[in-house]
Structure 1
Amino acid sequence: MPILPVLINLLIMLSLVGFLVYLKKKKVSFSKRVFAGLGLGILFGLALQNVYADNTGIIKTTNQWFSLIGSGYVKLLQMIVMPLIMVSIISAIVHLKQSKNLGKLSGLIIAVLLLTTALSAGIGIASALGFNLNADQIIQGDAEAARAEYLTTKLDEVSKQSAPQRMLEMLPANPFADMTGARSSSTIAVVIFSTLIGLSVMALKKRSPEQAKIFIDGVDALHGVITQLVKMILRLTPYGILAIMTRTVADTSFDAILQMGKFVLASYVALIVVFVLHLTILSLLKLSPAIYLRKILPVLSFAFTSRSSASTLPLTIDAQKNKLGVEEGIANFSSTLGTAIGQNGCAGVYPAMLAVMIAPTVGLDPTAPGFILTLIGIVAISSFGIAGVGGGATFAALIVLSSMGLPVGLAGLLISVEPLIDMGRTAVNVSGSVTSGLVTGTLLKDLDREVYYRDIEDASELAVANA
């Protein structure tokens, strides 16, 4: 394989990074630089695919080098996820005015996540029926057949665990192992462990205020260090998005997209409607959807390109606290719980659409009211249950389809466009978790509307820039 084209591609990437650095020196806003990185990544990715259409080896090698920037940025975010969750949640709890607020806070967040997921399932069902989607319309190739076999095998693993067993997996038997992300349920386990530590400190306050104060002072100091580290890493967002988007577009099979265009279109119509639902909820709370869009779009852009709610977590928490005025404890709980419970895109829209598509292949009527109500109920319940399983949309689909008595192997027919759809699903997941934080903050009167309506240049953007 020739080396010269790869070197040229790397030089172009470095030039684009240099251009983003130039924009920063010119005091161009953080949000604009994020979108500049996104747009340049799309254009560069399209150029790579057109120029090297007959030589995928060059694209593959080039993307491996681009991963130093893109995947490197994602790894830095992943590095701080667990420490950020633990320190932030402990800090939020020990500074709660009343411990009883914790139960109300977490209960409201989970309720909003599950409710919006149920509504998302209804939207997914309507989209699939409106576009007349049917699994029989999809052509099955070798990749799809292999994916179907994989899903069937995975179903055997999932079906061995009952819902109570999956929920039991969320408990932190070894919190130190969970801090390393050793299990699929590690994130939730760390949340539970951190919550228990925070409650223990609050109990210690009553018996030994001096000891509690020593611990709280240490947590506050550590919280300050972690917060500063988050700000330092967030400064790299424009460059990370540039590299990730370039790699994603360059690797995308547009022939597969055209072949599966109807399903892709139906999926994005459903996801857009769910996002509009989030904006409508904010309007009912007398919060400006336009301001929400301006402040959250950089976060959703990263979620879109990275396809990882967990990797987006530091950005989600930062945006809620510093841009949208959500109280720190609510921001931490809603952002963290939203990565595993009630994911509107992955656990709501996607499995509901698959169920509607597959139902006719086994003689079921997807328009029957009983089928629709049962499906929405199962989707809402399973969106909580998958927190102990991990695997996002795939496991959500496995649980929902098997619970409805539908063949799971047919879900493998969508493997060719799965990455493209997953980008939109992840962005909607993140928007759903932020919406739950805003709803909870409003209902508990812990939302700082002055921060919400503050100009974006005066919000966390400056904090990131000055880190």
Structure 2
Amino acid sequence: MDNLLLIVNIIAFLFLIGLLYTMHRKNVSFSKRVFTGLGLGILFGFILNFAYGADSAILAKSVSWFNIVGTGYVKLLQMIVVPLVFISILGAFTKVTIGKNFGKMAGMILGILVGTTAIAAAIGISASLLFGLDASEIVQGEAETARGVSIEERSANVAGKALPDQILDLLPANPFLDFTGARPTSTIGVVIFAAFLGFAYLALTRRDEENANLVKRGIDALYSLIMGVVRIVLRLTPYGILAIIARTVATSDFAAIFSLGKFVLASYVALLVMYLVHLIIITVSGLNPITYVKKTAEALLFAFSSRSSAGTLPLNIKTQTDRLGVPDGVANFAGSFGLSIGQNGCAGVYPAMLAVMIAPTVGQNPLEPTFLITLIAIVAISSFGVAGVGGGATFAAILVLSALNLPVALAGLLISVEPLIDMGRTALNVSGSMTAGVTTARINGELDKDVYNDSMEHQSIEGA
């Protein structure tokens, strides 16, 4: 009987895949297919959850088959992250788009990322105080206790690392190791290595024009090849979102979500307020925030579904360049730096909320001005080097709680609703990096306003 139900679930999933493929054959727009995939995934997930229950063995087996599409798609995106970052930044130098203003551009992107993270921390603090969040109110069961022990063990390896050491961790001692993604900051290491090669190319153009032209042709050819791979993978987005969101909804513990509803609500209020701050920054830059919302919706939706800032990077960069008019170099630096520096959701809102929640358990008054100022400063500094994959928020929380001498084990209290909260955090991370890219390009006069204001009918991040 179990095998029969498993087959039924797989057939139903394949039927939904077929619907999306039929829409593709009928030339339905990419955006409509993405949002259709989201809707079908939510509906299918609810049906499976209601029929079997989140902990069902049949559901677990079914999800393992769905993961071929969902997790497989995320892995394909992650596959092209490092090659895309490397060749795009190096290619930007050959187009002489960032050579003369590299320092100003990079400094501005970093300033926006870290500055918005400090604002996100203040918003997270406000949300915790407004909703009266207190870690002592959460019942600590076996799962929470086990998670707390795991976090304590991890904190032994990462806590107490000074800012100079965090900065040194960004540098690529072995760029070939970083090409394998072996370190949490590997992407930033690749960015730095590509920038050094880019400056070497600019020097070569002044000394040996013939070889410089040869290098440029090779880089341009490789860039075209990598972008071809990106376009192929992005065409799978509707199917990937269908599988990912169906798995997420089907395996969600709605009873636990209901019992911790106040914490989930407070988190999303803080995340939405910070997203409004992004729109205010866009508006102050002289751009239409509604246009930004419409054109970034697909990338943010995928970030929300996949819970992976790194997996969203190709969509992030393509959205900035193809829809928002950001130059390649700026888009790649903003997207790449945003993976490990200044993540507004994971490194800003989340650790700040946790610190305010946990402070009363050790007799610390969370309203004390010195505590609040120190917390915001530590959050901003600790946002350097947070990995853009699952676990980045935990890493940030460990750094912040340890610096404030708060018990890091209590960061495991929200484990039952962690996936739901992490979806919103990841989307905010990606929006923060895109905001940094758009704003930097606009201030430096490099933004193509015609592309930014152009109708989406003429633009598609899916590619040709």
TM-score for both structures, normalised by structure 1: 0.97
Aligned to 1:316: 316
- Match of residue 220 from structure 1: 220
Question: Which whole-Å CA distance do the structure 1 matches of 2:289 and 2:246 have between them?
Answer: 30
Other structure's SS at 2:406 match: coil
- Kindly indicate whether the alpha-carbon contact (under 8 Å) linking 1:184 and 1:391 is maintained by their aligned counterparts in 2: no
Q: Which residue of 2 aligns with 1:341?
A: 341
CA shift at 1:364, angstroms? 1.1
Is 1:405 equivalent to 2:405 in the alignment? Answer: yes
Q: For residues 238-387 of structure 1, what are the structure 2 equivalents within 5 Å?
A: 238-386=238-386
Deviation of residue 387 (structure 1)? 5.8
In structure 1, what is the Cα distance between the partners aligned to 2:49 and 2:444?
Answer: 50
Pick closer, same or farther for the CA change 1:324–1:389 going to 2, 3 Å. Answer: closer
Partner of residue 200, structure 2: 200
The one-letter code sitting in structure 2 at the alignment partner of 1:349 is V
Instruction: Report the Cα offset of residue 25 of structure 1.
Output: 2.2
Task: Output the CA distance in 2 between the equivalents of 1:125 and 1:287.
Answer: 29
* Counterpart-to-counterpart distance in 1, 2:463 and 2:249: 28
Deviation at 1:368, TM superposition (A): 1.6
Alpha-carbon distance between aligned partners in 2 of 1:247 and 1:406, rounded to the nearest angstrom: 35
Change beyond 3 A, Cα 1:402–1:390: farther
Equivalent-residue separation in structure 2 for 1:406 and 1:263 (angstroms):
19
SS of the residue corresponding to residue 338 of structure 1 reads helix
Please say if residues 166 and 385 of structure 1, whose CA atoms lie closer than 8 Å, have aligned partners that are also in contact. yes
1:390 CA drift (Å): 9.0
2:58 paired residue number? 58
Letter in structure 2 aligned against 1:251? T
Specify the alignment match of 1:84 in structure 2.
84
| CA displacement 1:297-331 (0-9 Å, x = unmatched) | 11111000100000000000000000011111101
Structure 1 segments (4+ residues) deviating >6 Å: none
Q: Which range moved further: 281-290 or 68-77?
A: 281-290
Query: How has the CA–CA distance of structure 1 residues 297 and 98 changed in structure 2, closer, same or farther, with 3 Å as cutoff?
Result: closer
Deviation at 1:369, TM superposition (A): 1.6
Paired residues of 2:159 and 2:398 also in contact (CA < 8 A): no
Give the Cα–Cα distance (whole angstroms) in 1 for the partners of residues 409 and 89 of structure 2. Answer: 40
Task: Verify the 8 A CA contact 2:97 2:327 in the aligned structure 1.
Answer: no
Shift of 1:187: 0.9
**CA distance in structure 2 between the partners assigned to 1:120 and 1:162 by the alignment:** 22
Structure 2 gaps of 5+ residues are none
Equivalent AA in structure 2 for residue 199 of structure 1: F
Cα displacement string for residues 315-367 of structure 1 (whole angstroms, at most 9, x for unaligned residues):
00000000011111101100111111000000000000000001111111111
The CA deviation at 1:159 is: 2.7
* Counterparts of 1:36 and 1:445, CA distance in 2: 37
Amino-acid identity (%): 54
Give the Cα separation in 2 of the matches to 1:233 and 1:54.
Answer: 30
Give, as a single letter, the amino acid of the residue that structure 2 aligns with 1:378: I
55 and 144 in structure 1: CA distance in 2 versus 1, 3 angstrom threshold: closer
Q: TM-score w.r.t. structure 2 length?
A: 0.97
| Rounded Cα–Cα distance in structure 2 between residues aligned with 1:430 and 1:200 | 31
Task: State the alpha-carbon separation in 2 of the partners of residues 393 and 19 from structure 1.
Answer: 36
Aligned partner letter, 1:340? S
Give the aligned CA root-mean-square deviation in angstroms. Answer: 1.6
Cα deviations by residue, 1:225-281 (Å, 9 ceiling, x for unpaired): 111111111111000000000011111111110111110000000000011111111
**1:55 positional shift:** 6.5
Deviation at 1:106, TM superposition (A): 0.5
Structure 1 residues 280, 54: closer, same or farther in 2, change over 3 A?
closer
Q: Per-residue deviation at 1:460?
A: 2.8
Note closer, same or farther for the CA distance 1:453–1:388 as it changes in structure 2 (3 Å cut): closer
After TM superposition, the structure 1 stretch with the greater mean CA deviation from structure 2, 304-313 or 386-395, is 386-395
1:65/1:337 CA distance change after superposition, 3 Å:
same
**What are the residue-to-residue correspondences of 1:173-192 with 2, within 5 Å?**
173-192=173-192
Report the CA distance between 1:207 and its aligned residue.
1.2
Structure 1 residues without counterparts, runs of 5 or longer: none
Letter in 2 for 1:14: L
Give 3-state SS (helix, strand or coil) of 1:316's partner.
helix
- What is the identity, as a one-letter code, of the residue corresponding to 2:416? S
**What do residues 135-170 of structure 1 show as CA deviations (whole Å, max 9, x unaligned)?**
001000011111111111111111364332232222
